[in-house]
Structure 1
Amino acid sequence: MNLVSIEARLQELGVTLPTPVKPVANYVPTVQTGNLVFISGQIPAGPNGPEFIGKLGADCDIETGRAAARLCAINLIAQLKGAVGDLEKVVRVVKLTGFVNSTGDFTDHPKVVNGASDFFVEVFGDKGRHSRSAMGVAGLPFGVAVEVEGIFEVA
């Protein structure tokens, strides 16, 4: 049984959730159907806009990519909280899909997306363990290094 609230765990990790980013195109940030919440892809955006610009295998190393993926995960949690109000309603992180802006010969996409996966386990414990896809892409919005989308089960 988890004795520490999710909000307290975030605080222990030094994370303050940002205000959820509003869509910049024709989509909604979250859709809930039944007990599943689907969250649109989140980029590594901070208070001053997109961060971690570049391609893995050219401009960014794996640790930079991991940091970008972690920031994507923070933004996913902010969207989730905005959608359901209380993070204690999270039953499970179901699935993440990570997109890595990378050169054609870069093959460490899973190591990069671990930045998000590891963060969800740090925050949610066993409820944070999830299925996942990690893939390389030729480009991402604003030239960011990583984008992550997620599916969450809530009570």
Structure 2
Amino acid sequence: MRFPSYSKTFTQALYVSIFSILTATLLHSQSSPGERLKALGIELPPASKSVANYQPAVRSGNLVFLAGAIAKGPDNQFIKGKLGYDFSVEDGYQTSRLVSIALLAALKAEIGDLDKVERIVRVEGFVNSTPDFEQQSLVINGCSDLLVEVFGEKGRHSRIAIGAQSLPFGAPVEISAIIQVRD
């Protein structure tokens, strides 16, 4: 039997995902999402304000709908670029993790305490990529892996990962999410 050959980029992204799953298992012994974030060395920034006529988070019943978020760099400027041209899969993966941190900040601003999360229901990821780029799912794994690291089994979710010709402000990744919470 012949196995398909995978690119070095795919193999590296696979190892990163496996490492993230193992990290999530170890971190799960921590008692709260806040403690898991701290163990990961992540401090949530203040939630971003909307840049247009929408809300970063809207709660309806026990669901919170998070608007699409994009990543900012250390200079507080939006990260710009295209996967398959400006960014590698690993760069996209790391950018996706940054976006998930922005999503968690918006979620915390809306519900007050991440302990109220019952389940991450859905993640919708858009990857600004060249027409021949086919590894959108590996990029959005950055978000998925972090959510599992922070919430354990509650962080496993349904998901889409879509390639886009362009995204707002030239962002390489935009992600939105639906979260089930309790009062």
TM-score above 0.5, yes or no? yes
Moved segments of 4+, more than 2 Å:
46-52
Match of residue 129 from structure 1 = 156
Match of residue 33 from structure 2 = 6
Structure 1, unaligned runs of 5 or more: none
Match of residue 16 from structure 2 = none
Native 8 Å contact 1:20 1:82 kept in 2:
yes
Q: Residue type matched to 1:149 in 2?
A: S
Native 8 Å contact 1:65 1:146 kept in 2:
yes
Match of residue 41 from structure 1 = 68
Q: Return the TM-score normalized by structure 1.
A: 0.96
The worse-fitting range, judged by mean Cα deviation, of 61-70 and 135-144 is 135-144
Alignment of 1:79-90 (within 5 A): 79-90=106-117
Native 8 Å contact 2:30 2:36 kept in 1:
no
Q: Residue type matched to 2:173 in 1?
A: V
Native 8 Å contact 2:73 2:79 kept in 1:
no
Partner Cα separation in structure 2 for residue 39 and residue 20 of structure 1: 11
Task: Give the number of the structure whose residues are more often helix, by fraction.
Answer: 2
Q: Return the TM-score normalized by structure 2.
A: 0.81
Going from structure 1 to structure 2, the CA distance change for 1:46 and 1:19 (only over 3 Å counts) comes to farther
Structure 2, unaligned runs of 5 or more: 1-27
Native 8 Å contact 1:51 1:68 kept in 2:
no
Deviation at 1:50, TM superposition (A): 3.6
Deviation at 1:48, TM superposition (A): 2.9
Please give the root-mean-square deviation of Cα atoms over the aligned residues, in Å. 1.3
Give identity over the alignment, percent. 50
Native 8 Å contact 2:81 2:172 kept in 1:
yes
Partner Cα separation in structure 2 for residue 135 and residue 3 of structure 1: 33
